[in-house]
Amino acid sequence: MLPVNAEDFRTIWLCPDDDSVVQIIDQRLLPHDYHIQDLKRWQDGVEAISDMYVRGAPLIGATAAWSLYLASLDVSDPAAEIRTAADALLQSRPTAVNLGWAIERVLTVIEAASSSEDLPALIRREAGDICNEDIEISRGIGEHGLRLIEEIAAGKNGGAVNILTHCNAGSLATINWGTATAPIYFAHRKGIAVHVWVDETRPRNQGSQLTAWELAANGVPHTLIVDNAGGHLMQHEMVDLVITGTDRTTRCGDVANKIGTYLKALAADDNDIPFYVALPSTTIDWKSRDGLTEIPIEERDNAEVTDIYGVSNGERIHVRTTAPNTPVSNYAFDVTPARLITGLITERGICDASEDGLLELFPEMRTE
């Protein structure tokens, strides 16, 4: 088992032996195989994002930044190549707002550069900064979220705090520590008893295949459940707190996250269980207000629903679960309205899921 949350764990890095190669974990193969994938051209980065070798809003952004670095290497017209790469990267996943944010950030640095500057070195520094800053953001989320867990733990007489999470908003979704998992890891390291209900997260099983894997690697007690089970657990007081991540949060606190998040928020609301969303401020889309009408919801390949990845007799294979030609629909995200969210855990603190709440933490985003 890997030391996932050793301080030096990373989900993306520059190859130590060859600085024209970026390396990632091919997360599609987890938990059955831990494979390091080389990205040698920016097109590899597009494929890694769209085919979900990497996923999770912060890691998608970082991968886009590093892909622009790859685009700047060994070409006669780096500026043109970077523009082409940026366009392709922007199309690779529609819902995560970090993608556009990271690309914009790199492009701004390039625009400001003088013609004599070393473009690859500039982008490399910016991509590295994006990653380092993301780790600090996760750390901030972890510290603020830890207080929530401590408060609940205080009322449990040493009993474990039961936290439900959906999808993977873990170390694997960021550079390290995760968003939704950061408070959990921080609590666990502080010796607070926590237990995590891990939603399987159909269709891609990020819960059963990524979250369960990284919680196990870090020794955090957890139990896998099907996505259908959370409501029942909440009805029976087996959940103290829900924390999820988000791919895009509007200025007013609506949250787009993995499909099914909305159903858990409804159940938490119905059972008076606090429902928090952990997010780096990079996932806030300050230009949108109404999540239901303004956030594009990605539709993905039907095979994600019909064909399931697993092992049989030691072999890694996909099985088709359905009859051939079963019609399928596969929306990847849904929107949880702010009214169902108890609070947002950001790197600057915890706030109400509302424009006022967010602007109190991010006053520089006030438009008047």
The set of catalytic residues is 247
Rounded least distance, CB 262 to a copy of itself, Å: 4
Smaller CB separation from a copy of itself, 19 or 310: 310
Minimum Å gap between C-beta 194 and a copy of itself is: 14
Residue 31: is the preceding peptide bond cis (ω within 30°)? Answer: yes
CB of residue 67 to a copy of itself, shortest distance in Å = 29
Nearer to a copy of itself, 260 or 343 (CB): 260
As a whole number of Å, the end-to-end CA separation of the chain is: 51
Closest CA to 41 of 66, 17, 59, 58: 66
Q: From residue 264, how far is each of 52, 214, 233, 252, 300 by CA, in Å?
A: 24, 22, 11, 20, 22
How far is it, in rounded angstroms, from Cα 257 to Cα 334?
6
127 with 65: CB under 8 angstroms? yes
- Of the pair 16, 327, the CB lying nearest a copy of itself is at 327
Residues linked to residue 257 through DSSP beta bridges, in sequence order? 334
Amino acid at residue number 8? D
CB of 93 to a copy of itself, least distance (A): 17
Nearer to a copy of itself, 179 or 209 (CB): 209
Q: Which segments of 36-175 are extended strands (E)?
A: 36-39, 161-165
Pick from 167, 135, 143, 153: nearest CA to 195:
153
**Contact residues: a copy of itself, CB under 8 A:** 31-32, 197, 200-203, 205, 208-209, 212-213, 216, 221-233, 235-236, 258-260, 262-264, 266-267, 270, 292, 297, 305-312, 317-323, 326-331, 333-335
- Which uninterrupted H or E stretch holds 49? helix 42-50
Name the residue with tokens 């051209």. Answer: 41
In the complex, minimum distance from the CB of residue 29 to a copy of itself, in angstroms, rounded to a whole number: 12
Residue placing its CB nearer to a copy of itself in the complex, 166 or 251: 166
